[in-house]
């Protein structure tokens, strides 16, 4: 048997409505904040992600899916959404018509990581990216959007962690202080951190292994190296969050796993046993240099991304029901050739009117067709036999009330619609009362 590749998941029919509902909700929230959807290719030119020899992030150095196509082009499956959207912004000059462009995406993302719960090799991200303004209130808006999503889904057990990496001067000064400090302990650093000490010492702060070591407590703090301008930016973010009533925890150890961040960085954790160590459901921050680095204009930017699988695991863990039962409006049991042919014509008419319906294409016995109606959670089961075809009638059974009635075939549609309009079972179909 050929099985799915390691680190990938099938999203089965039983789960898909939950995904679709959450995606619909996310799209609605994004549009409330005036973000517009963008879709970029699943693979990009390899150099988009491998542009910088000094990149220290695991994602870029160890986790990308790189390959050559038949034309010997080096391509990479998208390991995140930010660089591709920046590439599209520059390529289509989207910043010309909209000096402040606000874009979002929901798409597959690929990282060659060690799979575990909440960590896959193919996963989905919902991301937002806002370009063209360095206003700290835009940082606040991104965090607020994330919180609106979490609140709207009913997730309570969340924690926003916030930090600033400051501007270039702040980071350079801090970087030098970190190098000086950690050089004393170089022999004690893990292999990865020895490498980080040369390339990006800030990432040492993020190390799961070394951060538990004693000397860590006295490592220099970014707050002592911030320029006045960087301090002011961060203070405004904090004021803005407080004004919106968004709770956060300042965490000077938060540096994020990607190298492009400047100024504000944040992560949102969902604390639970379900996600274990993979409890960061959302991460983001400012990246004011990336557009310029990728050959575009000197535009500031801020954004974030949610891991959709982690978000959905959290929703399930909290017992939140996003969708009701997947019910079929009508299962039409047909007995005999003539009835089967007529039934196939009728269900097509009903479907065009928004009534979900089905028949048995295996033409099983009456008993087995009833079973199939049950399995499909049909609200109505109707029987069309030889006599009914002759008389132009149909026997309707309401599976909710257990009432049975024989009615004229031409009245079926009206019969079902008027029932659905008066009851809450019409979930997701002729009338959407689900939310
Ligand atoms: P990131 O922190 O690498 O940031 O990923 C964002 C989110 O994607 C994580 O918080 C996590 O929920 C989810 N995620 C990451 N790796 C996996 C995985 N292997 N399996 C399942 N979920 C995963 C970025 O990707 C940045 N591009 C975010 C951003 C946008 N920053 C600015 N704009």
For the chain, what are the domain ranges?
13-167+227-317, 330-426
Tell me how far the alpha carbon of residue 36 lies from the centroid of ligand 1, in angstroms. Answer: 20
- Quote the pLDDT of residue 169: 96
- Residue with the nearest Cα to atom 11 of ligand 1? 307
Q: Is the pLDDT of residue 274 over 80?
A: no
Average pLDDT over residues 155-180: 95
- Quote the pLDDT of residue 424: 60
- Quote the pLDDT of residue 430: 39
- Residue with the nearest Cα to atom 30 of ligand 1? 304
- Residue with the nearest Cα to atom 16 of ligand 1? 119
- Backbone phi, then psi, for 384, in 5-degree steps? -125, 105
Count of residues in the chain? 435
Contacts of 102 (CB under 8 A, 6+ apart): 33, 34, 35, 36, 128, 129, 130, 131
Q: How confident is the model at residue 160 (pLDDT cuts 50, 70, 90)?
A: very high
Average pLDDT over residues 143-147: 98
Q: How confident is the model at residue 324 (pLDDT cuts 50, 70, 90)?
A: confident
Highest CATH level, class, for 13-167+227-317: alpha beta
State whether CATH 3.40.50.970 applies to domain 330-426: no
Atom of ligand 1 nearest to the CA of 125: 8
Atom of ligand 1 nearest to the CA of 79: 25
- Quote the pLDDT of residue 325: 85
Out of 52-56, 111-115, 134-138, 372-376, least confident range: 52-56
- The candidate with the shortest Cα–Cα distance to 130, out of 300, 281, 295, is 300
Tell me how far the alpha carbon of residue 242 lies from the centroid of ligand 1, in angstroms. Answer: 25
Percent of the chain at pLDDT above 70? 97
Give the residue, out of 125, 139, 161, 279, with the most ligand 1 atoms within 8 A of its beta carbon, to mutate for a pocket test: 125
159 or 257, greater pLDDT: 159
Q: Is the pLDDT of residue 54 over 50?
A: yes
Average pLDDT over residues 187-195: 90
- E strands along 57-114, which residues? 66-68, 74-77, 101-110
Tell me how far the alpha carbon of residue 282 lies from the centroid of ligand 1, in angstroms. Answer: 7
> Cβ(107)–Cβ(124) under 8 Å?
yes
Give the residue, out of 11, 131, 283, 303, with the most ligand 1 atoms within 8 A of its beta carbon, to mutate for a pocket test: 283
Q: Is the pLDDT of residue 432 over 50?
A: no
* b/e map 114-149, b = 16+ CB within 10 Å: eeeebbbbbbbbbbbbbbbbebbebbbbbbbbbbbb
d(CA 19, CA 29): 15
- Backbone phi, then psi, for 49, in 5-degree steps? -100, -30
Give the residue, out of 258, 307, 309, 314, with the most ligand 1 atoms within 8 A of its beta carbon, to mutate for a pocket test: 307
d(CA 83, CA 260): 10
d(CA 287, CA 103): 15
Pocket of ligand 1 (CB under 6 A): 80-82, 111, 113, 118-120, 123, 125, 127, 129, 257-258, 280-285, 287, 303-307, 309-310
Average pLDDT over residues 347-365: 96
- The string of DSSP codes covering 382-414 is EEE-HHHHHHTEEEEEETTT--EEEEEGGGHHH
Both structure tokens of 238 = 């904090």
- The candidate with the shortest Cα–Cα distance to 134, out of 112, 167, 157, 156, is 167
CA atoms within 13 A of residue 158's CA, in its CB half-sphere: 28
Q: Is the pLDDT of residue 210 over 90?
A: no
Q: How confident is the model at residue 52 (pLDDT cuts 50, 70, 90)?
A: confident
Q: Is the pLDDT of residue 51 over 70?
A: yes
pTM, to two decimals:
0.92
68-116: per-residue pLDDT in tens?
Answer: 999 999 999 999 999 999 999 999 999 999 999 999 999 999 999 999 9
**What is the average pLDDT value for the chain, to the nearest integer?**
94
Query: Which residue, chain included where needed, has tokens 């006295």?
Result: 218
**How far apart, in Å, are the Cα atoms of 198 and each of 32, 54, 191, 203, 206?**
44, 9, 12, 11, 15
Both structure tokens of 32 = 């409330």
223-271: per-residue pLDDT in tens?
Answer: 999 999 999 999 999 999 999 999 999 999 999 988 899 999 999 999 9
Average pLDDT over residues 219-225: 95
Average pLDDT over residues 11-36: 96
Q: Is the pLDDT of residue 425 over 70?
A: no
> Cβ(50)–Cβ(64) under 8 Å?
yes
- The candidate with the shortest Cα–Cα distance to 384, out of 426, 425, 429, 347, is 347
Q: Is the pLDDT of residue 426 over 70?
A: no
Residue 116: beta bridge partners? Answer: 119
Out of 143-147, 254-258, 383-387, least confident range: 254-258
């Amino acid at each position: 048997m050929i099985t799915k590749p390691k680190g990938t998941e099938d999203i089965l029919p039983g789960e898909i409505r939950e995904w679709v509902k959450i995606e619909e909700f996310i799209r609605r929230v994004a549009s409330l904040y005036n973000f517009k959807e963008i879709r970029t290719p699943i693979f990009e030119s390899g150099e988009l992600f491998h542009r910088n020899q000094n990149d220290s992030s695991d994602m870029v150095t160890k986790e990308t899916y790189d390959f050559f196509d038949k034309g010997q082009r080096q391509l990479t499956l998208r390991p995140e959404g930010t660089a591709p959207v920046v590439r599209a912004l520059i390529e289509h000059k989207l910043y010309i018509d909209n000096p402040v462009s606000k874009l979002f995406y929901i798409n597959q993302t690929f990282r060659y990581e060690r799979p575990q719960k909440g960590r896959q090799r193919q996963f989905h991200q919902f991301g937002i990216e806002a370009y063209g303004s360095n206003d700290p209130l835009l940082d606040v808006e991104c965090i607020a959007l994330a919180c609106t999503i979490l609140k709207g889904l009913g997730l309570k057990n969340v924690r926003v962690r916030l930090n600033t990496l400051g501007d270039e001067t702040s980071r350079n000064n801090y970087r030098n202080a970190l190098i000086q400090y950690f050089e004393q302990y170089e022999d004690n650093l893990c292999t990865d951190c020895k490498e980080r000490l040369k390339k990006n010492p800030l990432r040492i702060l993020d190390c799961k292994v070394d951060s538990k070591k004693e000397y860590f407590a006295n490592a220099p703090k970014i707050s002592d190296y911030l320029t006045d301008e960087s301090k002011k930016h961060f203070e405004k973010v904090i004021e803005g969050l407080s004004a919106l009533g968004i709770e956060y925890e300042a965490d000077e150890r938060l540096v994020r796993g990607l190298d492009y961040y400047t100024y504000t960085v944040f992560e949102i954790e969902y604390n639970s046993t379900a996600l274990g160590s993979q409890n960061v459901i959302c991460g983001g921050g400012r990246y004011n240099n990336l557009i310029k680095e990728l050959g575009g204009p000197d535009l500031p930017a801020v954004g974030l991304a949610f891991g959709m699988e982690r978000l959905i695991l959290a929703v399930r863990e909290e017992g939140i029901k996003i969708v009701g039962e997947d019910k079929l409006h009508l299962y039409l049991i047909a007995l005999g050739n003539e009835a089967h042919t007529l039934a196939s014509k009728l269900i097509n008419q009903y479907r065009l009117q928004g009534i979900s319906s089905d028949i048995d294409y295996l033409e099983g016995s009456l008993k087995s067709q009833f079973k199939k109606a049950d399995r499909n959670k049909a609200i109505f089961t109707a029987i069309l036999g030889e006599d009914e075809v002759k008389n132009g009638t149909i026997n309707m059974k309401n599976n909710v009330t257990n009432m049975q009635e024989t009615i004229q075939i031409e009245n079926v549609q009206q019969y079902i619609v008027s029932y659905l309009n008066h009851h809450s079972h019409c979930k997701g179909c002729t009338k959407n009362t689900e939310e």
